[in-house]
Amino acid sequence: MRPVTSVVTIAVFVGGMLLLWRERSNTTILFLGVIVVMPVALAIISRMQWIYARHFIIGVAFLLLLLSFQLGKVWNNTRWGKTLSIAGLLVYCAANGPPMAALFNNGYGHYREAMRYIIEHTHKPDITIGSDHDFRFPTVLNFYAREIFGDKPAKYYLRDAWPPEGPEWALLHKESFDDPIPPLASFVDGAGNHYDLEKTFPAAPLSGLHWFLYQQHPN
């Protein structure tokens, strides 16, 4: 599917730029800069180690504007233009239907549900949590902690500072464009504490993160 979408994207960009150039539009440089030059320059200047789809969101919006110019031209100037334009819009809506359904179903991630599950199934007096990423998880946990945990004591342990007995809960994650398949059914930490997968909390593609919740169990 990705090769097809890549070819279509290039065709839309080239076709739109040719249309603007033939009409001697002053926006030609604008679209070229926003869609191509700025994302590439930003990646080079900031020395990005990872490229994500969200880095191109503005460019995609302008690419859709280019597509609208082409569909408008076809609609007005060809015999089958209206049929072709409607067919193109139907294909676009059909292709975006499954991701939109996933977005309505899963949103940016079931973070509240994950934290409610933790508080409802914690066996110890305090909530103790560790994870595989010491920026992404604490940021979200801190945002929801007051709402979900209330006055119940909770502590997050950095990856290199887990206590010998280990936190009761461990969170692993995947990017939302990956399948929400748990990376492990269970694992043992460096101190020999055993964790089993309790629940998966998926996110919609290109939105949040898949969360995989593990709870410590006796060996």
In this prediction, residue 11 carries a pLDDT of: 84
pLDDT tens digits, 66-110: 888 888 888 887 778 888 888 888 888 888 888 888 888 888 889
Coil, strand or helix at 47 = coil
Please give the Cα distance from 148 to 207 (Å, whole number).
22
pLDDT band at 26 (very low <50, low <70, confident <90, very high): confident
Please give the Cα distance from 206 to 108 (Å, whole number).
9
In this prediction, residue 2 carries a pLDDT of: 67
Q: Which two tokens stand for residue 24?
A: 């001697």
Q: State the helix-helix crossing angle for 136-148 and 111-121, rounded to 10 degrees.
A: 70
Q: Which two tokens stand for residue 204?
A: 């919609």
Query: In which order are the strands placed within the sheet that holds 209-217?
Result: 154-156, 127-131, 169-175, 209-217, 194-201, 186-188
Cβ partners under 8 Å of residue 200, min gap 6: 180, 182, 210, 211, 212, 213
In this prediction, residue 199 carries a pLDDT of: 96
Q: Which is it for strands 127-131 and 169-175: parallel, antiparallel or unpaired?
A: parallel
Q: Which domains does the chain have, with CATH numbers?
A: 2-106 (no CATH), 111-217 (3.40.190)
pLDDT tens digits, 129-180: 999 999 889 988 888 888 888 888 899 999 989 999 999 999 999 988 888 9
Question: What residue type is 13 in one-letter code?
Answer: F
In this prediction, residue 48 carries a pLDDT of: 65
The arithmetic mean of pLDDT across residues 55-71, rounded, is 86
Least confident of 9-13, 161-165, 196-200: 9-13
State in Å, rounded, how far the first CA of the chain is from the last one: 45
Please give the Cα distance from 139 to 111 (Å, whole number).
12
pLDDT band at 49 (very low <50, low <70, confident <90, very high): low
Do the Cβ atoms of 206 and 176 come closer than 8 Å? yes
What's the whole-number average pLDDT of the chain? 87
> What is the rounded (10 degree) CA torsion for 168, 174, 175, 180?
-110
Please give the Cα distance from 202 to 216 (Å, whole number).
21
Q: Is the pLDDT of residue 50 over 70?
A: no
The arithmetic mean of pLDDT across residues 43-58, rounded, is 72
Greater pLDDT, 145 or 121: 121
